[in-house]
Amino acid sequence: MCRKIHHALDAGTRVRYLFVSKDGGSPLTDGSKITDAELLRSLMDNSSDNIYFKDLSSHFVRVNAAFARWMNLSSPDDVVGKSDFDFFTEEHARPAFEDEQRIIATGEPIIGKEEKETWPDGGVTWVSTSKMPLRNECGEIVGTFGISRDITDHKEAELKASRYAARLREINRQTQEELAMAKDLQEAFLPKRYPTFPKGVPAAESALQFHHHYEATDLVGGDLFSVHQLSDTKVSVFLCDVMGHGVRAALITAIIRTLVDEWAPLEKDPGRLLTKVNNLIRPFLRQEDVLVFVTAFYLVIDAAKGMAQFASAGHHSPIRLCCKDGAAEALLSNRMPIGPVLALYENYDYETSAVELNGGDKILLYTDGLYEVENKSGEEYGEERLLDSAVLCMKQPLPTLFRHLIDDIQRFCEGNTFNDDVCLVGVDVCRVG
C-alpha cells in the first residue's frame, strides 16, 4: 500500500498529495533535520512566482500566497477546490485544462510555455508557465503542479515591437514599390531612340550617332541626360549630376529635365540655356534647410557646319577622340571658361565655347561616378586612365567602345561596384557637311 499524507480541506471530499521522504526529512549542517513539509512551506511562503497544485480534475488543492495575490484574493484558501474556469475566460481556461489533462495522461511536462491569460473584466496578462505531473511515492500520477511567472510587461513590449516591426515592413514594402515605380519613370526619361541626320535616314546611316550607359547606385539616381533635335542639322546633349543620389537627387533631376525639355527648343545657345536653368532652379535648391549642388554640361552640335558649341556649370570636360589623327583630348581647353555649379549664384552668365569637328570624331560626356571608383587598395581609376582606355578603342563603334571602357574599369576595381551613379553619353560624328 502506498503511503501518503492527507487531510481534509472542507468536508473531507478533497485531499492534498505531498511527497514524504523515507526518513521524514532532510539533514542540515548542524545535524538537525527539516521536514519535507517545512521545505515546501518555506518555498510556498517566500516565492514571488505563482505556485499551484491541482488534482486529477484540474481543481486547485493548494496555492501559495503569491498566486492568491495574482488572483486578487485575500487568502490562498479561497482558491482551493476551484479551477481556472472560475477565474478566467474560456479562451484561457480551456487550453490550460487540456494541457493539464495531457500531462496526466502522458506524464510529459510542459516547460516555459508562454500563456495568455484572459480575465472576465477584459484584462489580459501573460505568464511563463512550467507544469509537471504530481506523483505519489509509488509514482502514480495524482494531479499536476506548476510554476508561473508574470511576463506581462515583457510580452506587451515584445508584441508592441512586433507590431512596430510589421508596420515598418509594410511601410518598407510600399516604399520599395514606389521606388520601383520611380525607377521605371526615371528610366522612361532616357532616350529610347535618337534623332538622325538627315532626318528620316536609318540610324546606321546618320551623320551623328549616339549611345549611352546609365547605372544608378540606388533604385533611382541623381544623374540625367537628354538629347534634343533642335533643327534639321543641330542636336543638343544635356548632362547633369546632382549632388548625392537616391530619392532627393532623383526628384531634382526630374525638375531639371522638365526645364531643359521646355527651354532647349527656345534657347539654342548653351551658355544662355544654363543661365536660364540656373535662375529657375536656384529658388528650389537654396532654401534654408537644403544645400544641393548640380554640375551640368550642355553641348550643341551642328552636323552641317561641323561645329560644336558648349558650356559647363562646374562639370568636368568631356573627352574628344579625334580618330583622323589618333589623338585624344579634353573638349574644354584650359583657356575656355567653366562656370560655377548650378544654383550657387543668382543671375550668373554662363559663357559658350566652340570648336570645329571632323568626320570620325567622337565626344564622350560622363559623370564623375564613372572614374571615381576605387580598387581594393583604395586607388582611384581616375580620368587619366579613362582617357588612355578610350584611345585604345577609339575607332570602334560607340557600343563596342562603351563595353571596353566599363570592362576596363571593372577589371581595375577588382570586383568593387560603382559607389556613385554613372552616366556615359557618346556622340559619333560620322561625317560633317
Common-topology check for domains 26-150 and 190-429 = no
| The predicted structure's pLDDT at residue 191 | 83
In this prediction, residues 272-295 reach a mean pLDDT of: 85
**168-199 pLDDT per residue, tens:** 888 888 877 777 777 777 777 788 899 999 98
End-to-end CA distance of the chain: 120
| The predicted structure's pLDDT at residue 32 | 63
Instruction: Say which CATH class 26-150 falls into.
Output: alpha beta
Domain ranges of the chain: 26-150, 155-189, 190-429
Is the pLDDT assigned to residue 250 strictly greater than 90? no
More confident residue, 133 or 253: 133
Percent of the chain past pLDDT 70, that is, above it, reads: 91
In this prediction, residues 35-52 reach a mean pLDDT of: 84
| The predicted structure's pLDDT at residue 159 | 87
**336-386 pLDDT per residue, tens:** 899 999 988 989 999 999 999 999 999 999 999 999 988 888 899 999 999
The CATH number, out of the four listed (3.30.1300.10, 3.65.10.10, 1.50.10.10, 3.60.40.10), of the domain defined by the range 190-429: 3.60.40.10
Distance separating alpha carbons of residues 260 and 35, to the nearest angstrom:
94
Question: Which residues neighbour 9 within 8 Å (Cβ) at sequence distance 6 or greater?
Answer: 15, 16, 61, 80, 81
200 in Cβ contact with 271 (< 8 Å): no
Is the pLDDT assigned to residue 34 strictly greater than 80? no
**314-334 pLDDT per residue, tens:** 999 999 999 888 889 999 988
Is the pLDDT assigned to residue 17 strictly greater than 50? no
| The predicted structure's pLDDT at residue 29 | 61
More confident residue, 433 or 303: 303
Task: Provide the 10 A C-beta neighbour count for residue 380.
Answer: 13
320 in Cβ contact with 363 (< 8 Å): yes
Distance separating alpha carbons of residues 177 and 183, to the nearest angstrom:
10
pTM, two decimals, is: 0.65
More confident residue, 244 or 94: 94
205 in Cβ contact with 269 (< 8 Å): no
What secondary structure, in 3-state letters, does the chain show? CCCCECCCCCCCCCCCCECCCCCCCEECCCCCEECHHHHHHHHHHHCCCEEEEECCCCCEEEECHHHHHHCCCCCHHHCCCCCHHHCCCHHHHHHHHHHHHHHHHHCCCEEEEEEEEECCCCCEEEEEEEEEEEECCCCCEEEEEEEEEECHHHHHHHHHHHHHHHHHHHHHHHHHHHHHHHHHHHHHHCCCCCCCCCCCCCHHHCCEEEEEEEECCCCCCCEEEEEEECCCCEEEEEEEEECCCCHHHHHHHHHHHHHHHHHCCCCCCHHHHHHHHHHHHHHHHCCCCCCCCEEEEEEEEECCCCEEEEEEEECCCCEEEECCCCEEEECCCCCCCCECCECCCCCCCCCCEEEECCCCEEEEEECHHHCCCECCCCCECHHHHHHHHHHHCCCCCHHHHHHHHHHHHHHHCCCCCCCCCEEEEEEEECCCC
307 in Cβ contact with 301 (< 8 Å): yes
183 in Cβ contact with 216 (< 8 Å): yes
Beta bridge partner(s), residue 127? 115, 150
In this prediction, residues 163-167 reach a mean pLDDT of: 88
| The predicted structure's pLDDT at residue 178 | 74
Q: Residue 121 is placed in which grid cell?
A: 473584466
Check whether the bond before 340 is cis (ω within 30° of 0): no
- Read off the pLDDT band of 22 (50, 70, 90): very low
**71-118 pLDDT per residue, tens:** 899 999 999 999 999 999 999 999 999 999 999 999 999 999 998 989
| The predicted structure's pLDDT at residue 27 | 64
| The predicted structure's pLDDT at residue 15 | 35
Distance separating alpha carbons of residues 313 and 340, to the nearest angstrom:
5
**391-411 pLDDT per residue, tens:** 999 999 999 999 999 999 999
Q: What angle do CA 19, 95, 101 make, to 5 degrees?
A: 40
Radius of gyration of the chain from its Cα atoms, rounded to whole angstroms: 41
